[in-house]
Chains A and B, each alone.
Chain A
């Protein structure tokens, strides 16, 4: 008996029943280790990775993605990393095919959406760091996924609450409760959230439904 089987797309995945999630959320863990490692290495390592407007416009495009991995202080790192571990692991370990791939796409699309928003729409923000804009993408995709998978209205309410929170942040021009040294950027949260809603809409038909749902 072969330990691996070929999936339709031609890639390899662990043997087992179709749709069974991986036991270990390795993508979530890898990203968390990366974020922790960058923080532990100190601010000097993070400086060339920040989402820095002028540098991006000068061609340092990697900063669109890498700035999300850099955090300024523990008050910034701990909440962001905690939320990532919860939503990342929940999504990655959920039943269904291609969860790792979808999470990776979610992260990439969210990171790009936030980065491009900052460059295009936030000229006063010269540099940006942190996962939270991207976490709004993951949260939107994850909450819609949970709502669709379980049918529980709690997750729809949580999704709407996230939108309301972002609207409140936009209204007051900052975070409702701020724990980081750098001020929050509500526009980045909005861009991330909108990207998440767009992804969820694109994946609507392929999102699992609760048993018995029409």
Chain B
């Protein structure tokens, strides 16, 4: 009875906390002053495999209850970018039980009923754009529980550099939540992060900027392993590719860095783990196709990745750069320091023909530079000093910052707004529709640096998309120089606009994104879709560069069956869900829009703001008439992962026979430049005039 009462108290406190929402960081939550003792985060083991164009992340955790009564565990972690939670497993009586995706309210109701009945149950929910929450009950007195969560996300390259982020850092975006919850982010047992990179293209370097203690091993041209923390034990469930050293060619060099010592002190989950990999220079512009089609007569899913060659010329006529900097309280600590560092480095890279303007905002926007000013060395020095003094406090009037940035722009010059924010608009106008109306008033590209975890990515992504701009996530664990170089390279070069793609020869449908929009220098175009049939397909990618049409073509075979990558179905479905959620954020939620997201997410086993993943005891699924479709899908995906790990790395390039691009992919190396002998139309006209004059002179 006493135990039950305490559990009720804990649940009540948790329910009270629901109004505040969780916090954007990773850890076990207990209400501040709620009388609920904290659980221990015992083990935190992360396995990531990046292969075939996407990353699969599996997080296994053990929560320990050192107290003399049963408790409920609530674990929260930031939503990783473009991640679809695809697996949730709870060990009940020592046996793993995989969860099923249900509409959110139904899942919550079943969870509460099972909890009230004292049976084992667990739930994973998504709280908007900020957090995933995992609830597990009961965590028996003096005992521990084991759970495993898996998610998948596309692994794109930008300017030849891949980036994976395991988000852990505090987002600081919700003061109310921070005041309510106590977060225990200390791992008292084992902590391990292991990432396996298996690419067909050669990789020249792998780097973890915030974790110099990581062990990086090269096992092949495009095959690396990265490990951080404690070594694995024989009892761990681990993918074979980590263990199977026999697959490593003997001639390859040994570890590039000596293994880190095993730390005896607790490890805190307070810093994002960012992993970069850089492809070797001179990789060709190319088209890659990954498919999943278990039945030759049925429908298949495809992921088409177009990596354009370096065909975009630099813009060297000078650019107007307007920096719009968020200095609200949520940017405090690491984010504001990162912002200052990044903007100062960007200022140092402006050219003599450029102009610059600095706007900072918290409760209101302020023009620090007094309008657009030439980026002379003296001005840059002054602005650098100003940036160094920017502190973080107050609210976030993002709308005012963008409004001010749009004033005084020059339509005759190339202009770009560089917005650096964590994107939590909470002062002044906050409706997404109003923001979209604002940014569409002028033809200015918005380049958004989304700082930290918990940022309002849906809003910022929608704004960026509406201006044909580009958004990039920035962690405090990122190399800010690299992020800047990428962004400056995009603004400083021509871009492909109004990009459209046609795949003739097979029937395609439900393609996302639609429309595609713009592709900036270094960006990949990743398109998901469904198809019927098989055979030769003609791909045409069309767009406009500085107003003139460009077209790239290739021809390749689309397979009748493919079973290597079953995760593609969920990646496609998640891309569709994201597109639908953007529509909901912009135009509002309607029963039809919500139902469409729910149906897609339930059918494909995805956790979304409208659907959750529920684990109950195995026989309870049957008692409640809950189908085990997600469990079957998870089993298929696990089998496919094991098969991939045991086999060789597979290349998915399909345009070798008829390359779509003549030039190599752009890179940061400075050695991937391509040049064209080009006399221009002026040269042609002058030559024609001289030719005519020459003919006349000869005759006379």
Contacts and interface: CB of A to CB of B under 8 A. Distances in A.
Among the interface residues B548, B553, B659, B687, which one has the most CB atoms of the partner chain A within 10 A?
Answer: B687
Contacts of A184: 675-678, 680
Interface in A159-210: 161, 172-185, 188-189
Interface stretch (B169-177, B456-464, B692-700): B692-700
A21 B663 CA distance: 41
Nearest to A165: B683
B680 A47 contact: no
Given A44-B657, A83-B684, A86-B690, A188 B282 contact: no
A60 interface: no
Interface in A8-47: 42-44, 46-47
A28 B24 CA distance: 69
A129 B662 contact: yes
Interface stretch (B136-144, B199-207, B622-630, B665-673): B665-673
Interface string A132-165: 1111000100010010011010110010010000
Interface residues of B, number: 45
B664 A126 contact: yes
Nearest to B661: A43
B469 to A, nearest CB: 22
A5 interface: no
Interface stretch (B4-12, B309-317, B596-604): B309-317
B690 A182 contact: no
B678 A155 contact: no
A86 B679 CA distance: 13
From A73, A122, A135, residue with most partner B Cβ within 10 Å:
A73
Interface in B55-80: none
B662 A78 contact: no
B316 A180 contact: no
B662 A122 contact: no
Contacts of A54: 282
Contacts of A123: 671
Contact of A174 (B282, B310, B314): B314
A178 B680 contact: yes
B686 interface: yes
Nearest to B658: A44
Contact of A178 (B672, B674, B678, B698): B678
B516 interface: no
28 contacts: A42-B553, A42-B658, A43-B662, A47-B659, A72-B676, A76-B678, A80-B679, A82-B684, A83-B683, A83-B684, A86-B691, A90-B691, A90-B694, A125-B674, A126-B672, A128-B676, A129-B674, A130-B676, A131-B677, A135-B679, A143-B690, A146-B697, A150-B698, A174-B313, A174-B316, A181-B313, A184-B675, A188-B675
In the A-B complex, list the 9 residue pairs whose CB atoms are closest, starting with the nearest.
Answer: A130-B677, A132-B677, A182-B676, A185-B675, A86-B691, A150-B697, A181-B311, A43-B662, A79-B684
